[in-house]
Structure 1
Amino acid sequence: MGALNNHQYAEEDGEIIEPSRPSGRRLAHSALLARTVAAEKETPSPLTRTSKRQRSPEKVYVPGDKPRSSTLDSKAAKVDDKRATVNTGAANEATADEEDIDIDALLRDNDDEDERFLEERRKRRREILLKFENSDAHDPDSHIRGSRPDASVAEDSGFLLEKTNAKAAPNSEGLSAADYSPDRDSNEDDVRHRIAAKQTAAAARRDIPAKDDSDDDFDMFADDDAVDTSSNVPKSGAISAAVTTAMADNWDDADGYYQIIIGEKLDGRYLVQSFLGQGVFSSVVKALDIENDNKPVAIKLIRSNEIMQQAGIKEQQILERLHETDKTGRSHVVRLLGSFMHRNHLCLCFELLGMNLREVVRKFGRDSGLSLQAVRVYGMQLMLALDHLRKNRVLHGDLKPDNCFVSEQRSVAKLGDLGSACDVEENEITPYLVSRFYRAPEIILGMPYDYAIDMWSLGVTLFELYTGKIMFPGRNNNEMLRLMMEARGHFSSRVLRRGQLWQQHFEDNGGSMMDFVSRSTDKVSNRTTTQRMAFTKPTKDIKSRVLSATPSDSAAEEIQTALRFAQLLDRCLELSPEKRITPDEALQHPFFATPKIK
């Protein structure tokens, strides 16, 4: 259904109240109705769809913009109608006995009747709007009718992070996104297998036989294989400068991480303030740039390892390329400020941001998730980041809430940690690329992949932000596929046959749909059992899960926005990567064009 036609609606009301020979009372009603309709034309409904030319991106995130009170409008209309009637001599059109009617007394005597009339009119309008909402929510082509917002309007400090509705009950179903800790991925086994994987790839390019240190069942991003390595890192994550004398030239720990020293000056200008964290490839510290008014920065110290150093150089090159094509810094990718070497460690200096999005969910949306308004702002900004990567032919390769960072005011989100990023042409087949919960199906199935893997990861991330729950908490790749089919339906045989690894998870029955072979391991007996399963329709569809995370007493406008959000996720999480929405298309989706929720 198109935009609501207020003119037709007014005529419909006019036909109800206007007889062929109007009385003084009806003249007053007609004047009142005309004034009210004119006011509504000047203030269109926020749910009314506009064309590309009419839609202004600036209205997406502008706070306020509340429509004028209908009560005030009706009072103002009565005063204006009185003046208009007197000034234009409308009484001359009535009969002689009607010319003596006191308009002021008439309006006072009929206030109650006016209110009943307007309430009936409002009720009919709501019914029409509801019909419009239902029609728009099921429009499969509505995503192409929006206009892409400009990057300059993607930042907004006027939104709330929490779901403010008092009846918003926590969502108890599923694994909490706030409680999941990706830090367990950075354990000794993970490090060994990551290094082995890169050594194997490098050896293959040089035609040198590589040492076989692989494990077919090992998932480099899995939690199941995690071991505690906290004993390798000082409790504070750093050591005091007072003990550096005893260290002599031994600046690294056993795994090649630089042992952080609080108060140390790096590259002659960066004064180390605190230890921020440690990942597989590096350690990160907060420092002050004493040559730039003590501006705080984040410095990433790559591990002293040839493979890790090469990965760090690759990240540096990609970040420099992204910066060259975004001089204004509007792409929402964390900015690289510089690089240097320190005690045989490559160091990358970045702008310092605040929390990552998992920490934001933990603080403001535990179990219940963030507000739709916050999800829309962060989602738009991260879509802009993916669009920038795509234009530079770059895959992020590990998009998740932990690698998306927000400003101190929490109004701006940026995509960071490009340690797994690569050129789109370097898409080597591996079933363990991307953290498991955010891994696209084509990676698991061994299919050729491209930019669509990042869109899948972002779709899962946005679902997580709104619901507060992990969307696909599979313990291994096989369980990940099962959870995907529960939400999205079955894979076609045509899609599966394009992969190199589909036979690990499916059996060909000769039909258009293969049978899924579910494998589970008993933790007590360590025995693996298999079960053949056939999926037809989704049993845990996205729309139902999004609505279950929406407060039950939400306004119609917010429910409509939630439906548009579910529609966007449908496009982000297409099982076939060719059908998945692109960042540019997503930025034109009605979810990002919806007026700000009050």
Structure 2
Amino acid sequence: MEDFGDFRDLDVIGNGAYGIVYRARDQTNGTYVALKKIRISILSDGIPMTTLREISLLKNLDSYNHPHIVKLLDVIHRRAERDNMLELYLVFEYLERDLADYISHLPTSTIIPTHQIQRLSRELLNGIDFLHSHRIIHRDLKPSNLLIASDGTLKIADFGLAKSYDFEMRLTSVVVTLWYRSPEILLCQSYNSGVDIWSAGCIIAEMYAKRALFPGSSEGNQLGKIFELTGKPNIEDWPNCSVDLDQFLMTIPCEPRQLIPRLDDFANDLLKNMLALLPQNRLSASTCLQHPYFNQEPL
């Protein structure tokens, strides 16, 4: 068991490309926190840009105390005992589980009630709207990055790929986990905040279906699954596309409810507008929140 000063490591709750996440207890008050541990070579060019970006964005956002954004409580650094490494710890509020874990542990015959999906979707879009109003794109929205508190509140986490945006950004790296990646990214086009709306649409659909909407096995396979819903695009819509669209079968656009029969008229229309093939045709987060889907009496 490692000891991090005022924090004592209990167990690993996450392990990814950007570090290990521990559940730990604050020994000063007994509360739990999430510690994201990042090891950095002192001989390298410094702290990775993804880490600096995450710290900077979260410190800026924390001043607003938004209810649907995870809180960064502290940043701790210390010299590792060997290997010329620096250990950096981001201390976050601890939330019990994420949306992916919640969905995966539902019994086979159990659906998520419509009113609960409606509430979680509203909280997700409120968080996204807050980020976009501050010119921040998350760029990696997926169920495992949406934390669920003990009272059921949803909070957006993991800002390692988040970035302050210009009106159209060029793709500089692979962003967004494949199943939630928008067509413009897959087609190597410029992109904007619409990538988060696409991801959110995939997540809302997954809550209804209890499975990923587009579970692609490769980028080409992912595009093929997307085109089954949106239809194959015209080359005129993507004049600078570097992907050979002729490799895909011609498909006719269909309604989201054809893939998820459970959707009612309002949910179908909301997802249709969030999962529009062309980013300029997608609703903004603030417009999504005004959709009749959120005004209907949940079943």
Which residue in 1 is equivalent to 2:250?
534
Q: Where do 1:341-490 residues align within 5 Å?
A: 341-343=77-79, 344-364=86-106, 366=108, 369-409=111-151, 411-425=152-166, 427-430=169-172, 432-490=174-232
Of residues 5, 12, 21 in structure 2, which corresponds to 1:284?
21
CA contact (8 A) 2:206 2:212 kept: yes
CA contact (8 A) 2:111 2:210 kept: yes
* In 2: Cα distance, 1:447 partner to 1:315 partner: 24
Root mean square deviation of aligned Cα: 2.0
Which residue in 1 is equivalent to 2:75?
339
CA contact (8 A) 2:170 2:189 kept: no
Of residues 297, 312, 321 in structure 1, which corresponds to 2:33?
297
CA contact (8 A) 1:365 1:468 kept: no
* In 2: Cα distance, 1:565 partner to 1:311 partner: 35
* In 2: Cα distance, 1:290 partner to 1:567 partner: 49
* In 1: Cα distance, 2:190 partner to 2:153 partner: 33
Which residue in 1 is equivalent to 2:247?
517
* In 2: Cα distance, 1:367 partner to 1:438 partner: 25
Query: Offset of 1:544 from its aligned partner?
Result: 2.1
Query: Offset of 1:340 from its aligned partner?
Result: 1.4
Say whether 1:544 aligns with 2:258. Answer: yes
SS at match of 1:364: coil
Of residues 320, 340, 352 in structure 1, which corresponds to 2:59?
320
CA contact (8 A) 1:356 1:404 kept: yes
Q: Deviations over 1:144-166 (max 9, x none)?
A: xxxxxxxxxxxxxxxxxxxxxxx
Q: Which has the higher helix share?
A: 1
SS at match of 1:319: helix
Structure 1 residues 365 and 488: alpha-carbon distance in aligned structure 2, compared to 1, 3 A threshold: farther
CA contact (8 A) 2:118 2:298 kept: no
SS at match of 2:56: helix
CA contact (8 A) 1:298 1:349 kept: yes
Q: Deviations over 1:520-554 (max 9, x none)?
A: xxxxxxxxxxxxx222x23x53122232xx3xxxx
Which residue in 1 is equivalent to 2:82?
none
TM-score (norm 1): 0.46
* In 2: Cα distance, 1:311 partner to 1:517 partner: 35
Query: Offset of 1:367 from its aligned partner?
Result: 7.4
Q: Deviations over 1:50-74 (max 9, x none)?
A: xxxxxxxxxxxxxxxxxxxxxxxxx
Q: Deviations over 1:319-340 (max 9, x none)?
A: 111122x13x33x011111111
Say whether 1:587 aligns with 2:293. Answer: no
Query: Offset of 1:357 from its aligned partner?
Result: 0.6
Query: Offset of 1:355 from its aligned partner?
Result: 1.0
* In 2: Cα distance, 1:301 partner to 1:576 partner: 38
Q: Where do 1:200-239 residues align within 5 Å?
A: none
Which residue in 2 is equivalent to 1:125?
none
Which residue in 2 is equivalent to 1:87?
none
TM-score (norm 2): 0.90
* In 2: Cα distance, 1:368 partner to 1:580 partner: 31
Question: Letter of the aligned partner of 1:405 in structure 2?
Answer: L
* In 2: Cα distance, 1:357 partner to 1:284 partner: 17
Query: Offset of 1:422 from its aligned partner?
Result: 1.1
* In 1: Cα distance, 2:52 partner to 2:140 partner: 17
SS at match of 2:237: helix
CA contact (8 A) 2:231 2:250 kept: no
* In 2: Cα distance, 1:431 partner to 1:302 partner: 20
Point out the structure with max Rg over C-alpha: 1
SS at match of 2:211: coil
Segments ≥4 residues shifted beyond 4 Å: 305-308, 365-369
CA contact (8 A) 2:137 2:196 kept: yes
* In 2: Cα distance, 1:314 partner to 1:367 partner: 42
Query: Offset of 1:287 from its aligned partner?
Result: 1.5
Query: Offset of 1:427 from its aligned partner?
Result: 3.2
SS at match of 1:494: coil
Of residues 264, 268, 284 in structure 2, which corresponds to 1:566?
268
CA contact (8 A) 2:198 2:274 kept: yes
Which residue in 1 is equivalent to 2:83?
none
Q: Deviations over 1:99-132 (max 9, x none)?
A: xxxxxxxxxxxxxxxxxxxxxxxxxxxxxxxxxx
Which residue in 2 is equivalent to 1:92?
none
CA contact (8 A) 1:339 1:349 kept: yes
Question: Where does structure 2 lack aligned partners over 5 or more consecutive residues?
Answer: 80-85
Question: Letter of the aligned partner of 1:569 in structure 2?
Answer: L
Structure 1 residues 372 and 498: alpha-carbon distance in aligned structure 2, compared to 1, 3 A threshold: farther
CA contact (8 A) 1:543 1:567 kept: no
* In 1: Cα distance, 2:224 partner to 2:172 partner: 19
Which residue in 2 is equivalent to 1:596?
298
* In 2: Cα distance, 1:297 partner to 1:568 partner: 36
* In 1: Cα distance, 2:21 partner to 2:225 partner: 35
CA contact (8 A) 1:424 1:450 kept: yes
